[in-house]
Amino acid sequence: MTEPRSDTGAEAEDRRRRDEAALAARMQDVAGKLLVLSGKGGVGKSTVAVNLAVALADAGMKVGLLDVDVHGPSVPMLMGLDGRRVRSTPQGLEPVSAGENLSVMSIGFLLAEAGEAVIWRGPMKYGVIRQFLTEVNWGPLDCLVIDSPPGTGDEPLAVAQLVGRPAAAVVVTTPQELAVANVRRSVQFCRKLSLPVVGLVENMSGLICPHCGKAVDVFPPGGGQALSRQAGVPLLGRIPIDPRVAECGDRGRPFVTELAGSPVAGVFADIARRVAEGLTAPAAESSYPKENARMKIAIPLADGKLSMHFGHCEQFALIEVDPEAGTILSTDLQAPPAHEPGVLPRWLREQGAEVILAGGMGSRAQDLFGQMGIRVVVGAPGGEPQQLVRDYLAGTLQAGDNVCDH
């Protein structure tokens, strides 16, 4: 894969437009994208993602499995693909084949050794995730299953912003309250991004006794059901603990096929069926109430009007809009924190901003906002913030040259 570059001015803008066009073209061949998320590590998210991809492929769907956990890529081991390498072709990077209907891509395929530590900061991780989505030659897919890192940080945000629509999520939890509390944050993360949640999977839900075959509760039961009711999303199924599942993972054999006919494989087959139905349902794109179809646009201001130089702004107008109706819902004026590297991108993301309309902004600052999933429009004319937003929503905003190209 190519190393992310640091261009300036017009070169950076041209590169960004080419990258966006390449990303859109690649994702056009993917009918649906499914992010597998969890609020914390250790809940079996990667195991769920791998077996879900295999089950969908076994059902006849053309499936891609993308592992974007750059610090702990476990998909190659779980799939029995350790040591495999990808090759570059004129069409892009070729993913590793895992059967007739399943192809796999992971940072693990690019490391010199399986145990090599990846010590990257946000910009490098964002760049690699973008390249995975832009440069990998998946070909036409019915579904791209994406195993995201745990939590609601930069990597899951980057994936959710980059993959485009249609997309949905499956959230994995375990029964205990600590895990449920973290998963609740994942559900809220999806809601803020208008990313439909197909449902929850409760993993490690009781232990199947190897002697009598009965299930025994290891953790207090009912956590997944309670969260399902609170969040208003379906509980897709409860996967019990079965020692053979861990054995399958260690041997690189997905348990959904290796243990076919077992209770745990039966539960998972039902989960996969419900996920497939959720991905193809006509209402998948609008599974949240209409009030969630909102976005915030940030305008840097000086003397109440657009600040032509981003670094000189005195405050921000945070304007919430309904993009479908093309209307402004509210305007909030906020004083920004000190202008230090990396501070404003994170602060604006916390405010919920998805777009910035700017007169001029340096290429480095644009990259930092991009890593936060915030789109930057440069060259906006000076004027009242509400009028700029109306023009942007109507598609009539006349963007000129970037007046700050350093």
| Domain ranges (residues) in the chain | 9-286, 294-394
* Three-state SS at 241: strand
The residue with tokens 């017009």 is 10
**Crossing angle of helices 154-162 and 122-135, rounded to 10°:** 30
User: What percentage of the chain has pLDDT greater than the value 70?
Assistant: 80
Q: Which among 143-157, 365-379, 380-394 has the top mean pLDDT?
A: 380-394
Does position 291 have pLDDT exceeding 50, yes or no? no
**Pick from 317, 344, 347: nearest CA to 332:** 317
Q: Is domain 294-394 given the CATH code 3.30.420.130 in the classification?
A: yes
Q: Is domain 9-286 given the CATH code 3.40.50.720 in the classification?
A: no
Question: pLDDT digit string (tens) for 99-145?
Answer: 889 999 988 787 755 555 555 555 677 777 888 888 899 889 999 99
Q: Are 43 and 125 in contact (CB under 8 A)?
A: no
The model's pTM is 0.66
Whole-angstrom distance between the N-terminal and C-terminal Cα of the chain? Answer: 27
